[in-house]
Structure 1
Amino acid sequence: MSREAEQRHAGMRLIEGGTFLMGSEAFYPEEAPVRRVRVDSFWIDETPVTNFQFAAFIEATGYVTVAEVAPDPKDYPGMIPGMDRAGSLVFQKTSGPVDMADASNWWRFTFGACWKHPLGPGSDLAGLEDHPVVHVAYPDAEAYATWAGKCLPTEAEFEFAARGGLDGQDYAWGSELAPDGRMMANYWQGLFPFANQCLDGWERTSPVRSFPPNGHGVYDMIGNTWEWTSDWWTAKPMPPKAKRSCCPIDNPRGGRLRESFDPDHPGVRIGRKVIKGGSHLCAANYCQRYRPAARHPEMVDTATSHIGFRCVVRG
């Protein structure tokens, strides 16, 4: 390996290519069906990109994130007057039970919130240098990856790495969420969104490497923050032509842009990417997506206090 390659692979783990069972039929319909998938070998960051690492990228390039730019009302038909200001979504714990069908009960679009002000104006990154960077939209993650000479993982690559060699298990560490009461990842213990027991020790994000690595020696692929993948969202992840195939699906690359639009918002033509891994806000009573098979759509222009990313190198 050349010196340049060694530098690029620093802090990464080699995931040897192979075949695995992708998806699940035990939790949410968008994860089904379980299908055999083959991926080539690739390198993946041991941890999500941290605030320290992202700050180095910003210093080197002068890049301005999506959350730091005021949205153009022309791109958002029906925008509420006065909302055309820079900011991002910040989670706010509620004082008691709320309507779980309305996420606006716990999400607040906070003017001035961004990667360096994670809770809004007046907040900073002091003590959070080794936490995953958040408030990064998809273009921000892609820009960092390009700068680092890397790219973002596909959904299949992420899931293969997250499973850590435990094929067919619900969790990245086995069949139990908390074996013998041990917390294996940063997720919400208690009743979301108002009662977090913090058995894992953290109310929000946690420092990377706070929990055991999986079988591949990779950290935080479950919980802590959701992570961007490069695949466009599709509610039916299995290609139609593969339904009756006896052979593994080879290096799947997800859906197509036009299929990724949110049908609940037909006037908004902004694509959605697949995010994986769950976050510190996933809970048993709300979002059991602290699993390798879990997947969720997110608009590429969206930045929140619970989405981050990591990179891969292929070849």
Structure 2
Amino acid sequence: MADTPAPSAEKLRQAAPISSGTALDPIRVPGGRSFVGTNSPEIPVDGEGPERPVTLRDFALEATTVTNARFADFVAATGYVTEAERYGWSAVFHSDRESLDAATRAGSQLPWWHKVDGVSWRHPEGPDSSLEGREDHPVVQVSWRDANAFAQWVGGRLPTEAEWEHAARGGTERRRFPWGDEEPNDHDAIFCNIWQGRFPDLNTARDGFVRTAPARSFESNPLGFYSMSGNVWEWTHDAFRVRSVSRAAKQRNAYALQHSEKVLKGGSFLCHVSYCYRYRIAARMAMTPDSAGSNTGFRVAYDVQ
């Protein structure tokens, strides 16, 4: 995103919610000794490994990502204005051949991502798009700061990366995906909403969805959480860091610190094993806290007694 100043603490206080929201389907997750990361990373540069032990307190996490309908309630109650709305643009995925070719000619390394004016959570693909029929889909085009504002409204917070992984696994069992270790495919093993076909120009949508799916889609994991693999990336509380002493890792960490990057988990409907194999539990991504996109959302965690 552009280097537009973040709202001051005083402005945030002035924009405080005029009424409080409520939690929706939080699931209590037992804490204790657990772990985060993996000793078998697929994308080492992302800092997926090594596996490291953590101790977690009991916490609660909502069963689904926050939907368009709930976010609309938040905005109606508080008058909140998202960062994408204030910037006037955001990133949108377009994979038609004309768009891909034009972006490639312009030198883009990611020609499927486009800066589109008039994009917001209300109009996730552009000013001519709407949320009609997608009220129960995850809200997208929300930044880390937007997600935190909503979480505070309902009395919660964003989960840590370790909490997110612990919940996605259903505890301490080592599993590659929320449903187990079986790799999804384009035919008979469809467990989540990811890209199917040839990325980026052919999506067969065998899972039934070209973009987002309803937040409560496919089977839940053993603890009752939905779509923790694919659908939308989910913001976490944590700052992004690669745990390595290599020169490349030090440079990556310096960049992440300079830009205040945060960790996202779970992958999205754009992930594919040939391009973005990040719908695994240990996978991760980094973005600046003011960034948003058509495949980025969040779910809410809570402290428990």
Q: Given the two structures, how large is their TM-score scaled by the length of structure 2? A: 0.82
Change (3 A) 1:32 1:108: same
- For 1:6-25, what per-residue CA distance to the aligned partner results, in whole angstroms no more than 9, with x for missing partners? x9554111111133342122
Change (3 A) 1:278 1:237: farther
In the alignment, does 2:273 pair up with 1:273?
A: no
SS of aligned partner of 2:302? strand
- For 1:30-83, what per-residue CA distance to the aligned partner results, in whole angstroms no more than 9, with x for missing partners? 10102222211111011000000000000000000000113xxxxxxxxxxxxx
In the alignment, does 2:150 pair up with 1:144?
A: yes
Matches within 5 A, 1:251-270: 259=253, 261-262=255-256, 269-270=258-259
Q: CA deviation at 1:161?
A: 0.5
2:11 matched residue in structure 1: none
Name the aligned partner's letter for residue 177 of structure 2: Y
- For 1:235-261, what per-residue CA distance to the aligned partner results, in whole angstroms no more than 9, with x for missing partners? 1189xxxxxxxxxxxxxxxxxxx9563
SS of aligned partner of 1:193? coil
Change (3 A) 1:104 1:298: same
Change (3 A) 1:150 1:18: same
Find the aligned partners of 2:254 and 2:65 in 1 and give their Cα distance.
25
In the alignment, does 2:154 pair up with 1:177?
A: no
Change (3 A) 1:261 1:26: closer
Find the aligned partners of 1:91 and 1:135 in 2 and give their Cα distance.
12
Matches within 5 A, 1:202-281: 202-236=209-243, 259=253, 261-262=255-256, 269-281=258-270
Q: 2:133 aligns with which of 107, 127, 133?
A: 127
Change (3 A) 1:288 1:272: same
Corresponding pairs, count: 269
Name the aligned partner's letter for residue 42 of structure 2: F
Name the aligned partner's letter for residue 130 of structure 2: D
1:160 matched residue in structure 2: 166
Q: CA deviation at 1:102?
A: 4.7
Change (3 A) 1:8 1:118: closer
Segments of structure 2 that go 5 or more residues without pairing to the other structure are: 1-20, 246-251
Find the aligned partners of 1:158 and 1:237 in 2 and give their Cα distance.
22
1:13 matched residue in structure 2: 27
In the alignment, does 2:41 pair up with 1:26?
A: yes
Name the aligned partner's letter for residue 225 of structure 2: V
Q: Given the two structures, how large is their TM-score scaled by the length of structure 1? A: 0.80
Q: CA deviation at 1:166?
A: 6.3
Segments of structure 1 that go 5 or more residues without pairing to the other structure are: 1-6, 71-85, 239-257, 264-268
1:87 touches 1:110 (CA, 8 Å); kept in 2? yes
Residue range with higher mean Cα deviation, 132-141 or 28-37: 28-37
Q: Which structure 1 residue ranges, 4+ long, deviate > 6 Å from structure 2?
A: 96-99
- For 1:132-188, what per-residue CA distance to the aligned partner results, in whole angstroms no more than 9, with x for missing partners? 000001110010011111100001001111112362221111111238923111111
Q: CA deviation at 1:262?
A: 4.2
Residue range with higher mean Cα deviation, 162-171 or 125-134: 162-171
CA RMSD of aligned residues (A): 2.3
Change (3 A) 1:18 1:94: farther
2:23 touches 2:155 (CA, 8 Å); kept in 1? no
Find the aligned partners of 1:13 and 1:102 in 2 and give their Cα distance.
42
Q: CA deviation at 1:287?
A: 0.7
Change (3 A) 1:103 1:135: farther
2:113 matched residue in structure 1: 107
Find the aligned partners of 1:195 and 1:93 in 2 and give their Cα distance.
8
